[in-house]
Amino acid sequence: MPKIVRFHKTGPPEVLKIEDLPLEEPKENEVRLKAEALGLNRAEALFRMGAYLEDPKLPARLGYEASGTIDKVGPGVSTFKPGDRVSVVPSFSQNSYGMYAEYPIAPLHSIARYPDKLSAGEGTSIWMQYFTAWGGLNHYGRLSSGQSVLITAASSSVGIAAIELVRLAGAHPIAVTRSSSKKKLLADLGAEHVIVSAEEDLVASVKNFTRGKGIELIFDPVAGKFLETLAATAAPGAQIIEYGLLSGEPTPFPLHSALAKGLSIRGYTLFEIVTNPELREKAERFIFAQLETGMLKPKIDRTFPFEQIVDAHRHLESNSQVGKVVVTIP
């Protein structure tokens, strides 16, 4: 029987279990994949811990991203056929579908082709990060040439994607990381300036880099009390896009800075993009084209075999990675 990852209680990576379950048949408008690679995301770790936007229904499967070939299509599927090389766009509830499996079932609307030049590991590493960054920066953030853009958690796959998109737009990416060991790596990946928040005064560093003007667009998945510091770095009229809750803390609204500077602070997830057919098509077309030309290139931090899924999640939570954590399936 094919293997699948599930958890029967919320908690640390050790709650993940590889189980043998009967092969599922795709229903109407579903496809079954023969998975080759999985892309891991913080959203899955939060879901595993019971701290995500939706509570897991136990026993729960998980996973948003996979790449591989279509093994079988369900009734009503005509746009793809067995043997097609595809990857999965995160556009569903993990309570309904989970990609951590040898033969995952996915809804038709989540299936997308990716450039032939990419490996399976790269193919599973594109949609979560580039859709998230494109939606927050290009669409809602109205990213434009010459802007200063502050990118926190910059060594994450989304953070690196954001650096790429900011540079592509002719704007100035300023990366924030907690570890000095990542400073050169982020500079090599295109950050115009890197601030190590554990060692430097973030507000003073931003003020110095921007010559006192402040940041015009801030892209942050941390939130919590850190939002007050981010608001202090902002220029008058700046936008702050909050796309995560990594701090796990309550997030006080920085009213003083918001009033004094006329700030716009917006909560955002990529589901606003991927569930809107018009926006998804626009974003997917743009991302595909830039991947083909090499202007965007997913960075894989480390690859684990499927049987080491627990170790892969430990690494995901270690904050040591720069780029995407990938799991391969033979």
Mapped onto helix, strand or coil, the DSSP state of residue 273 is helix
Query: How confident is the model over 158-198, as pLDDT tens digits?
Result: 999 999 999 999 999 999 998 899 999 999 999 999 999 98
284: tokens are 């997917």
* Reported confidence tier of residue 213, pLDDT bands at 50, 70, 90: very high
* pLDDT number for residue 248: 84
What's the mean pLDDT when you consider all of the chain?
Answer: 96
> How much is the average pLDDT of 117-139?
97
Q: What is the DSSP letter of 136?
A: I
* pLDDT number for residue 17: 98
Tell whether the model's pLDDT for residue 53 goes beyond 90: no
> How much is the average pLDDT of 276-301?
96
* Beta carbons within 8 Å of 55's beta carbon, 6+ residues apart: none
As a whole number of angstroms, the distance between CA 163 and CA 5 comes to 32
As a whole number of angstroms, the distance between CA 6 and CA 35 comes to 16
Element (H, E) at 242: strand 234-242
Distance, CA of 35 to chain centre:
20
* DSSP sequence for 32-64: EEEEEEEE--HHHHHHHHT-SSS---SSEE--S
The helices-and-strands tally (H runs, E runs) of the chain is 11, 16
* pLDDT number for residue 179: 86
Query: How confident is the model over 125-134, as pLDDT tens digits?
Result: 999 999 999 9
**CA-closest candidate to residue 49, choices 6, 12, 94:** 12
What stretches of the chain show up as alpha helix (H) in DSSP? 42-49, 120-123, 127-133, 157-168, 183-188, 202-209, 226-233, 255-261, 271-274, 277-293, 309-316
Q: What is the pTM of this model?
A: 0.94
Element (H, E) at 219: strand 215-220
Domains delineated in the chain: 3-126+298-328 (3.90.180.10), 129-269 (3.40.50.720)
